[in-house]
């Protein structure tokens, strides 16, 4: 018997009634300002002005009263917790919009000590840069029999899709080589113990 130890739980699903969620987002988009983060270089734009707030204090979903999206994320977090055998409990969420125009990308990074990180795709044509994960086991690529398990895993973005993953998992976004502007909402969850 083979046991697959140390699996990395990544969850993806379509949200229920994303058209209504996106309609509510459409109504508040004109309230958003996007900023670049100098330490990242010219990668992409985010809705956090780090000169005024730290990322720990920012929850754009709550600030813009996107209650249907907030409830939908919560439902998927509950399902994710059930799948991994974790007892769902109260948590704090931070969230922000990310904008990827032509030439934009997200460098490989992680979300530190967040319990769960996630992304919701608001606007995309599916060709404007894949979301990808790097294998957390870098040693797989050194083996001839396991190297196929050490490749990066890619997700094609779709409007209304949500992806949840451990905050420590390294990920990024390929360069947007289209004239379409992709907009997503990223979030971090920390459970209160």
pLDDT at residue 48, rounded to an integer:
79
Q: Name the DSSP letter for residue 144.
A: T
pLDDT number for residue 93: 96
Which pTM value belongs to this model? 0.92
pLDDT of the residue at 29: 93
24 closest CA partner among 181, 186, 160: 160
Contact 167, 111 (CB under 8 A): yes
CATH classification of 11-191 is 3.50.50.60, yes or no? no
Determine the pLDDT at residue 193.
79
Residues with Cβ < 8 Å from 165, sequence gap 6 or more?
A: 8, 9, 10, 11, 116, 117, 118, 133, 171
Per-residue model confidence (pLDDT) at position 156:
96
**What whole-number distance in Å separates Cα of residue 3 and Cα of residue 47?**
43
The predicted pLDDT at position 6 comes to 81
CA dist., res. 65 & res. 25, Å (int): 10
pLDDT for 82 equals: 96
| pLDDT of the residue at 95 | 95
pLDDT score at 141 = 81
Q: What is the pLDDT of residue 191?
A: 97
pLDDT < 70 stretches in the chain: 50-56
């Amino acid at each position: 018997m083979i046991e697959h130890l140390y699996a990395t739980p990544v969850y993806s699903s379509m949200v229920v009634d994303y058209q209504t969620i996106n309609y509510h987002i459409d109504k508040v988009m004109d309230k958003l300002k996007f900023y670049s983060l100098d330490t990242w270089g010219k990668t992409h734009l985010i809705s956090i002005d780090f000169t005024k707030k730290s990322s720990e204090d920012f929850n754009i979903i709550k600030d813009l009263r996107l209650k249907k999206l907030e409830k939908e994320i919560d439902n998927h977090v509950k399902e994710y917790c059930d799948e991994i055998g974790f007892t769902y409990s109260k948590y704090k969420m931070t969230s922000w919009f990310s904008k990827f125009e032509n030439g934009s990308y997200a460098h490989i990074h992680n979300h530190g000590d967040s319990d769960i990180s996630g992304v919701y795709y608001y606007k995309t044509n599916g060709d404007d840069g894949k979301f990808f994960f790097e294998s957390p086991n870098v040693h797989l690529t050194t083996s001839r029999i396991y190297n196929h398990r050490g490749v990066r895993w890619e997700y094609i973005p779709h409007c209304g899709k949500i992806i949840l993953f451990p905050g420590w998992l390294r990920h990024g976004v390929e360069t947007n080589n289209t004239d379409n502007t992709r907009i997503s909402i990223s979030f971090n969850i920390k459970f209160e113990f």
